[in-house]
């Protein structure tokens, strides 16, 4: 089994309005898109997979799914008809976990997207993923998230422009 991950954080906007409002805008954007991401191999050295954690904080996609489903305050949704499991962590984390369904070309994989709001109002979307499928499948998943990112950035920028005082 090959494990790979991709991670990246890019600033996508800055606004002097409240952190909660920006968080809500970006949480909505995460429903449709992800952040710019770059593929890198995960460090999977070591024989004991029960004790090893990855960049997402869990040893495997299955462990992440099991633990996050039971986490207090998380909401779990299964999309129709494609059967992705989406887990959202509420404020202040503003984090969304997207798990590939059985039968998906990159299964098992999870993509974690989180909103980061700096004290000065700068906002970024951080994307981290663990993909246990073949490299080509993981790369294809990465490409899809890069395309979704372009749409998310455009949506967020439009919302920020529309909410700016005139």
For 3-53, how does the pLDDT look when each residue is reduced to its tens digit (9 = 90+)? 544 454 444 444 444 444 445 555 555 544 433 333 333 333 333 444 467
The pLDDT of residue 90 is 76
Residue 15 belongs to domain spanning: 4-163
The pLDDT of residue 29 is 55
Residue of higher predicted confidence among 125 and 15: 125
- Report how far residue 4's alpha carbon sits from residue 121's, in angstroms, rounded to the nearest whole number: 32
Residue of higher predicted confidence among 12 and 162: 162
Residues 6+ apart with CB under 8 A from 130: 3, 4, 5, 42, 54, 55, 56, 58, 60, 61, 64, 109, 110
Residue of higher predicted confidence among 20 and 61: 61
Query: Is-above-0.85 flag for pTM?
Result: no
For the chain, the domain total comes to 1
| pLDDT tens by residue, 69-120 | 999 889 999 999 999 999 998 777 788 999 999 999 999 999 998 877 778 7
Beta bridge partners of residue 28, listed in sequence order: none
Over range 125-136, report the average pLDDT: 90
Q: What angle do CA 132, 67, 59 make, to 5 degrees?
A: 35
The pLDDT of residue 5 is 47
155 token code pair: 């949506």
98 token code pair: 């997207």
* Domain CATH for 72: 3.30.530
- Report how far residue 5's alpha carbon sits from residue 145's, in angstroms, rounded to the nearest whole number: 13
């Amino acid at each position: 089994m090959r494990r790979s991950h991709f991670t990246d954080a890019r600033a996508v906007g800055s606004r002097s309005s409240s952190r909660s409002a920006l968080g809500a805008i970006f949480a909505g954007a995460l429903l449709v898109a992800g952040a710019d991401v770059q593929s890198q191999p995960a460090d999977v050295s070591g024989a004991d997979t029960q004790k090893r954690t990855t960049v997402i904080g869990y040893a495997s996609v299955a462990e992440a799914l099991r633990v996050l489903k039971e986490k207090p305050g998380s909401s779990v949704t299964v999309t129709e008809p494609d059967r992705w499991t989406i887990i959202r962590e509420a404020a202040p984390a503003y984090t969304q976990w997207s798990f590939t369904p059985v039968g998906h070309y990159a299964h098992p994989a999870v993509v974690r997207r989180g909103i980061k709001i700096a004290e000065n109002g700068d906002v970024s979307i951080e994307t981290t993923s663990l993909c246990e499928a073949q490299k080509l499948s993981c790369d294809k998943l990465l490409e899809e998230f890069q395309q979704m990112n372009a749409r998310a950035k455009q949506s967020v920028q439009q919302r920020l422009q529309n909410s700016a005082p005139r």
